[in-house]
């Protein structure tokens, strides 16, 4: 017959259970408060919005707001293209240091007719001076992510095939994202054939990268380093401390402003933050609100 547990042990056990319950309750309340603060800011704006947050160190800390709402992907689709480049390079199809011709002739997915990119519609113009010359895939990829070069994007999408990009993202659990085409395919746009995404999809993609599971741990870390070089930092990083690193990709077209990425704290802790918008006429209002939301999430994580 087993001896009864001493009363002292029972007391410590009961106290431990009570503290666990209190801790869990506080955590739930804190998450509810965070979600309430985010919703309060979103509801003050005109437009449609989605937010996804996941602490990669503690995935119970996850907030999803309109996470399945479909959005025009804009330039956020360039991160999936980068992932596919690393995947195909890892499979031996090419080296990222291979050279590729810089050209400005592309084919519409609608009827195969040709079209060209306009430097006036691109956020990076120096690449147009290199048309007819060669540049490494790695350099084009860097231009595509950090400067959001549309010309580099179209060259690289042609290299890996948009269907392959979508297939890889689906294998990562991004089950709604669709990468159909390059940039400025006007005929496709007029027929509603545009790249699309959701906050849930973006969260799955960046979680893979942040956890070192996109292609390989080494490839994931290289992708993070490229994303850290982002030149457009008006949203997620804007109010964060200088020692906080943000590996992210923005996207914008008329009425659409997105920022998606991984926030890396000095401690090494990482979290994913995705903020998407559409039908939002006041760009400055969206940027200001997304900056505010990013700071609120950061304060929650480090509290």
pLDDT of 198-231, one tens digit each? Answer: 999 999 999 999 999 999 999 999 999 999 999 9
pLDDT at residue 19 in the model: 46
Residue 122 phi/psi, 5-degree rounding, is -110, 145
Q: Determine which helix (DSSP H) or strand (DSSP E) holds 43, and give its type and residue range.
A: helix 7-43
> Residue 181 above 60 pLDDT?
yes
For domain 24-69+198-303, the CATH architecture is 3-Layer(aba) Sandwich (3.40)
Extract the tokens encoding 211. Answer: 């956890």
Confirm if 39 and 31 have CB atoms less than 8 A apart: no
pLDDT at residue 121 in the model: 87
pLDDT of 124-161, one tens digit each? Answer: 989 999 999 999 999 999 999 999 999 999 999 999 99
Q: What is the residue extent of each domain of the chain?
A: 24-69+198-303, 72-162
Cβ-based neighbour number of residue 203 at 10 Å: 23
pLDDT at residue 16 in the model: 55
Nearest CA to 72 among 258, 259, 229? 258
> Residue 58 above 90 pLDDT?
yes
Stretch among 5-19, 236-250, 267-281 having the lowest mean pLDDT:
5-19
Q: How confident is the model at residue 30 (pLDDT cuts 50, 70, 90)?
A: confident
Nearest CA to 150 among 180, 178, 120? 120
Extract the tokens encoding 286. Answer: 């969206």
Average per-residue pLDDT in the chain? 92
pLDDT at residue 11 in the model: 57
Q: What is the pTM of this model?
A: 0.90
> Residue 17 above 80 pLDDT?
no
């Amino acid at each position: 017959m087993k001896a009864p547990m001493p009363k002292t042990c029972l007391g410590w056990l009961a106290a431990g259970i009570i503290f666990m319950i209190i801790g869990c309750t506080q955590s739930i309340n804190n998450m509810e408060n965070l979600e309430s603060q985010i919703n309060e800011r979103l509801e003050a704006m005109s437009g449609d919005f989605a937010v996804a947050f996941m602490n990669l160190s503690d995935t119970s800390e996850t907030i999803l707001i309109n996470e399945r709402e479909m959005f025009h992907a804009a330039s956020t689709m360039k991160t999936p293209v980068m992932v596919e480049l690393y995947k195909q390079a890892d499979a031996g199809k090419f080296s990222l240091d291979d050279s590729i011709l810089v050209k400005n002739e592309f084919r519409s997915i609608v009827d195969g007719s040709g079209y060209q990119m306009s430097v006036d519609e691109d956020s990076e113009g120096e690449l147009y001076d290199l048309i007819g010359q060669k540049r490494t895939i790695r350099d084009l990829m860097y231009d595509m992510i950090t400067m959001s070069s549309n010309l580099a994007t179209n060259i690289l999408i042609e290299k890996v095939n948009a269907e392959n990009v979508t297939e890889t993202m689906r294998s990562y659990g991004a089950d709604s994202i669709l990468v159909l085409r390059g940039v400025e395919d006007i005929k496709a746009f007029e027929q509603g054939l545009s790249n699309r995404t959701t906050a849930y999809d973006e969260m799955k993609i960046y979680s893979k990268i942040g956890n070192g599971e996109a292609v390989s741990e080494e490839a994931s870390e290289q992708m993070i380093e490229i994303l850290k070089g982002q030149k457009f930092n008006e949203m997620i990083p804007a109010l964060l401390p200088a020692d906080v690193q943000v590996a992210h990709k923005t996207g914008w077209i008329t009425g659409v402003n997105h920022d998606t990425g991984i926030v890396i704290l000095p401690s090494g802790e990482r979290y994913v933050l995705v903020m998407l918008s559409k039908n939002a006429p006041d760009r400055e209002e969206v940027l200001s609100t997304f900056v505010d939301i990013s700071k609120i999430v950061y304060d929650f994580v480090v509290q």
